[in-house]
A and B are shown apart, each in its own frame.
Chain A
Amino acid sequence: MQLTVWTYEGPPHIGAMRVATAMEGVHYVLHAPQGDTYADLLFTMIERRDKRPPVTYTTFEARDLGTDTAALFQRTLKDAYERFRPQAMLVGASCTAELIQDDPAGLAKASNLPVPVIPLELPSYQRKENWGAAETFYQVVRTLAGAEDKRTDDDRSARGHPPHSLPECVDELANRSRAGRPSCNILGPTALGFRHRDDVAEIRKLLGEIGIDVAVVAPLGASPADVARLGEADFNVVLYPEIAGVAAKWLKRTYGQEFTTIVPIGHGATTDFVAEVRRLAGLPEEAAEAAAGPASNLPWFSRSVDSSYLTGKRVFVFGDATHALAAARVATEEFGFTLCGLGTYSREFARDIRAAAETYGVEPLICDDYLDVEQAIAAAQPELVLGTQMERHIAKRLGVACAVISAPVHVQDYPARYSPQMGFEGANVLWDSWVHPLVMGLEEHLLGMFRDDFEFNDEAKPSHLGSGARIAAEPVTVPDTTATVSPTIPITTHGWRSEAEAELKKIPFFVRGKARRNTEKFAAERGLSEITVETLYDAKAHFSR
């Protein structure tokens, strides 16, 4: 058992719901106990959808367990088909139904419905939401695009062609691009995805500008018929590897469609993405530079002198692997921050995060335990946390600035306004939203100079964020690591003399935690039993070298 205060991902059947709800003409019959319909409100409230998700639940109760729950499932399936007449159906079990083992797959087969029925095997006690979405999308693509696949294979073998290999594919593309515009699919956006709506719009626009048509966007907005056409495009754009990675690999094996590996979050990544897409589309390289515009405002904003105080600000990044990796690059290369932590809850992408963490010289954090993430952030003493909704809880507790870069998110991160994370407009959005929570430059200087202002002080929130006190000016010590600090005795915890403690308080709050830790480290390395004002400044000089 794992003690879970907050969970980063829901169970895998939520992932399946995200795919079903994203699509048109698909219905999902979920074997689940009464109460699991709470998931509907994720879509109707948090994402503010105006329709019920296309999901029918069996909602069995205790009294049903004594009877035939399998028959209940079959009845529900038939009724759902009759009422909604979908073009394809998904069937599966939630965690409790998984325990009673009614085999929705076999039961659905026995029901002989006149539409494709896609059984989902989602191990609820091992896997989580994104895995569930990826597996569901893969099964949908395999089943619905697979029919197409067979025909194409037959056609090809009739013409004496094996399914084409990569070089041949590129040749073909080069030919086609002369005839008409190359085309691609956009894979990965789902319901309840973090900014998926606007990312798709932004990338579709970008692709259009560089002369590439979008054939199918899936699963968001796609019908089973659209999924059947996936094989017709020249290549695939994978926006969210957590969701579309598996399906994209299958499409590559089956149709020889290459897929993009760069996720266009940030100015630099978008530029690289444009180059990659042009290569996959067989468009001439030399034009890439010209076609990359209109670029974002980020480079100029970041170079303008107003931003120089951002240099070296310590930032902790946590989220799903895609957004965390992208944020790490943007934070370091485009904002000039220093990365002091990088982590993800996406275990499937642990290797990528480890590799990236090594290049940034930080410890990778691969973890879905909220309490461990909290501990890691407290230890890293960042000035800014880029994370999920959960990191907002942590940052609030620790009194650190925070911006949201990844799901899980709540209703305020499904905004009415256009707010992509991807593409050049996405880079503009990132700029504004990451800088916003930080104390502004002049205020930061003044806080460093005048400590005792009754209005603008450490205890106060940055004044551009409205009035009020911050929750804690200094990180609360994690219970099992240190004893409580008592200001009344001359030597406080870790040997701080009271005048040194007072001097420490003169350091601006957002770097104070780091200064405290460095001084203690410095003292410990030299075997000093007490920390004086001198020690504090010795440590400062030592670490500033």
Chain B
Amino acid sequence: MTGAILRPALPGPAVPAQGCAERPVLRERGQREVFCGLTGIVWLHRKIQDAFFLVVGSRTCAHLIQSAAGVMIFAEPRFATAVMEERDLAGLADANDELDKAVSRLIERRPDIKMLFLVGSCPSEVIKLDLSRAAARLSERYSPDVRILNYSGSGIETTFTQGEDNCLAALVPQLAESRAETPQLLVVGALADVVEDQFARLFAAMGIDDVRFLPPRRARDLPPVGPSTLYLLAQPFLGETARVLEERGARRVAAPFPLGAEGTTLWLKAAAEAFAIDPMRFRAATAAAEARARRALEPYHAELSGRSIFFFPDSQLEIPLARMLSRELGMRLTEVGTPYLHRQHLAEELALLPEDAQLSEGQDVDRQLDRARAARPDISVCGLGLANPLEAEGLTTKWSIELLFTPIQGYEQAGDLAALFARPLDRKTRLRV
């Protein structure tokens, strides 16, 4: 098997002669209507159940997380903020003592915590509070009961899902060195539990037994990593995590992302090829599920085919979603905005995009709104700050954050994913008020 991974990949799927790979991208700067990376905490705290996220920031940071998630959660949350005050800004030494106090109060209150993330914010970055040293210092004090790590979720450095990227990248140095002789598969990116289980079953069926997921559901279950590790990105926003995994010797399996029937097959196939799985066995493992996914998509194809869609930048999921919606549901792409375009990780996706799709990276929100108003797309995918105002202007919207909070990857979710886009249109035809 070791030899297999060195073998050049089998020829990939039929790639359209003209993809998006070389086409110009509209790069814009101006006001960006996006979340900062702290927002990743909203789903990460549920994924890693014994981890706690302590933001070191201002009242704004506390208010953000609370507004984005907290007010809906009537339970003890697994996140909090150490709010910096006037006296913390006066001197740095003092701020470290204050942080220690906040951490000790927290750990007393929540003895069940096994892993604590100190999450950097704009204020803590600007005053250059060294959270990585604080994490190392506190780790010494609380080891082995609590592991204390650090990453930045600040708005000045990260956009929305990049918070997850930084969080996972902070986990990578904690992973044990893999001593395995044979290759193991590591699936990277937080997935819904149900999706994770489906993928595990599919990999087992095609004969890849040693599959681990990052992040794990519990802090103690961190997967090992080493030169024998092949990793497959489940999410498109994991540039930094991929970089540090490569530093540990792991190698990436290039693939489009597992959205839709086609996307999921291509994603699984990339893994199968890297592990030299017999194509017959691969088909046997996936054919039924793929057919089921295609059947589930049929009714939505009828509803969505020919409709135009406009993506405002939000999560970096925009390009894979646009690919799925255009190829599998026949939607017309007007503009596909992304906060950041990782050309290497998205190469397979770009190749599959139709050639008339306008790509944009970054944002000047007022100008982008002008373009959306001019294009009058059938659906605009945007954040909650824009959705209701656009609805009031008569445009139909799909709020984008839901795509991070809903199981959308894999075969069994392909229909659900299509339904997310069909629902706003369906609603519009139902309402008579």
Q: Which residues of A contact B (CB under 8 A)?
A: 1-7, 9-11, 13-14, 33-42, 44-46, 48-52, 56-62, 64-65, 76, 79, 83, 94-96, 99-100, 123-126, 128, 371, 389, 392-393, 396-397, 408, 410, 479-480
**Any A CB within 8 A of the CB of B127:** yes
Q: For residue B30, which residues in chain A have a CB less than 8 angstroms away from its CB?
A: 59, 79
Please give, as numbers and ranges, the residues of chain A lying within 8 Å of B386 by CB-CB distance.
40, 44, 52
User: How far, in whole Å, are A59 and B155 apart by their CA atoms in the complex?
Assistant: 8
A54 to chain B, nearest CB (A): 11
Q: Say whether, besides A60-B156, A126-B85, A128-B59, A4 and B80 are in contact (CB < 8 Å).
A: yes
Give the contacting residue for B67; candidates A35, A38, A123, A396; CB below 8 A. A38
Q: Which of A37, A95, A410 contacts B59 (CB 8 A)?
A: A95
Given contacts A11-B59, A123-B86, A410-B71, 17 further A-B contacts (CB under 8 A): A4-B81, A7-B81, A9-B59, A35-B36, A35-B38, A37-B31, A38-B35, A40-B386, A41-B67, A41-B384, A42-B67, A44-B386, A44-B387, A51-B389, A59-B155, A61-B156, A480-B108
Q: Check if B379 is an interface residue, CB within 8 A of chain A.
A: no
How far, in angstroms, from A10 to B68 measured CA to CA in the complex?
13
User: Chain A nearest CB: distance from B86 CB in Å?
Assistant: 5
Q: Is B17 an interface residue (CB 8 A)?
A: no
Say whether, besides A100-B126, A124-B60, A65 and B156 are in contact (CB < 8 Å): yes
Which residue of chain B lies nearest to A2 when distances are taken between CB atoms in the complex? B83
Contact between B59 and A10 (Cβ–Cβ < 8 Å)?
A: yes
Contact status A34-B389, CB under 8 Å: no
Measured between beta carbons, the chain B residues less than 8 angstroms from A58 are 31
Q: Which A residues are in CB contact (< 8 Å) with B155?
A: 33-36, 59, 61, 96
Assembled-state Cα–Cα distance A123/B67 (Å): 21
Nearest-neighbor residue (CB-CB) of A410 within chain B? B71
Q: Mark B54-87, 1 if CB is under 8 A from A, else 0.
A: 0010111011101110111011110011111110
Of B94-102, B198-206, B212-220, B246-254, the segment with at least 4 beta carbons within 8 Å of chain A is B94-102
Closest Cβ–Cβ distance, residue A214 to chain B (whole Å): 28
Residues of B near A100 (CB, < 8 A) are 126
Q: Which residues of B contact A41 (CB under 8 A)?
A: 67-68, 383-385
**B60–A11 CB distance below 8 A:** yes
* Residue B33 interfacial (CB < 8 Å): yes
In the complex, what distance in Å separates the CA atom of A326 from the CA atom of B366?
43
Establish whether residues B85 and A2, one from each chain, have CB atoms under 8 Å apart when the complex forms.
yes
Instruction: Say if the beta carbon of B161 comes within 8 Å of chain A.
Output: no
Residues of B within 8 A of A (CB): 30-39, 56, 58-60, 62-64, 66-68, 70-72, 74-77, 80-86, 88-89, 95, 98-99, 101-102, 105-106, 108-109, 122-123, 125-127, 154-157, 159, 366, 383-389, 391-392
28 examples of A-B residue contacts, CB within 8 angstroms: A1-B95, A3-B80, A3-B106, A4-B80, A4-B82, A6-B62, A10-B59, A11-B60, A34-B156, A36-B155, A38-B39, A38-B385, A41-B67, A41-B68, A41-B383, A45-B387, A45-B388, A59-B31, A59-B32, A62-B154, A96-B123, A96-B126, A99-B123, A99-B127, A124-B58, A393-B75, A397-B75, A408-B71
* B101 interface neighbour in A1, A7, A36, Cβ under 8 Å: A1
Closest A-B pairs by Cβ, 5 of them: A35-B36, A35-B155, A40-B385, A50-B392, A1-B98
Q: Whole-angstrom distance between the alpha carbons of A62 and B121 in the complex?
A: 12
Q: Which residue of B lies closest to A75 (CB)?
A: B30
Contact B67 A33 (CB under 8 A): no
* B177–chain A nearest beta-carbon distance, Å: 32
In the complex, the chain A residue whose C-beta lies closest to that of B77 is A5
Q: How far is the CA of A50 from the CA of B395 in the complex (A)?
A: 12
Distance of B178 from chain A, by nearest CB (Å): 34
User: In the complex, which residues of chain B have a beta carbon less than 8 angstroms from the beta carbon of A42?
Assistant: 67
Q: Which A-chain residue is minimally distant from B86 (CB atoms)? A: A125
A6 contacts which chain B residues (CB < 8 A)?
Answer: 62, 66, 70
Contacts of B62 in A (CB 8 A): 4, 6-7
Return chain B residues, CB-CB under 8 Å to A52: 385-386, 389
Q: Out of B60, B81, B95, B102, which one reaches A94, CB within 8 Å? A: B60
